[in-house]
Amino acid sequence: MTNISPVRQIRKALGLNQKTLAEKIGVSQSSVCGYERDRQEISPAIAVTLVEVAKASGLDIGLDHVYGQKPVPQVSA
C-alpha cells in the first residue's frame, strides 16, 4: 500500500489540481507539490487555511487530518 500524503488526499477529496489548491490557500503550486511529497512541511498558518478551504467545500476536516493523525474523509454530498 502506498503512503499518500494527507495534503494530497485532501486535494483529491476536493477534486482540485495542485495549481487550484495553491491559489485557494495562498501558496505556489511548487509548495503544494512539496507538501504532497513530504519535501516541505506545511506551516500552521497554511494548514489552518487549508482546513478553512476544505470546510467551505464540504470536507469536514481539522488540523489532525492535515498532519496525518486522522484519515481524510470524503466530501459530503
Phi/psi-derived region of residue 75, left when phi > 0, alpha when psi is between -120 and 50, beta in every other case: beta
Phi/psi-derived region of residue 4, left when phi > 0, alpha when psi is between -120 and 50, beta in every other case: beta
pTM for the structure as a whole: 0.91
List average pLDDT for each run of 10 residues in the chain, which is 77 residues long.
Answer: 84 97 98 96 97 96 96 75
pLDDT score, position 3? 80
pLDDT score, position 20? 98
- In the chain, what are the domains? 6-66 (1.10.260.40)
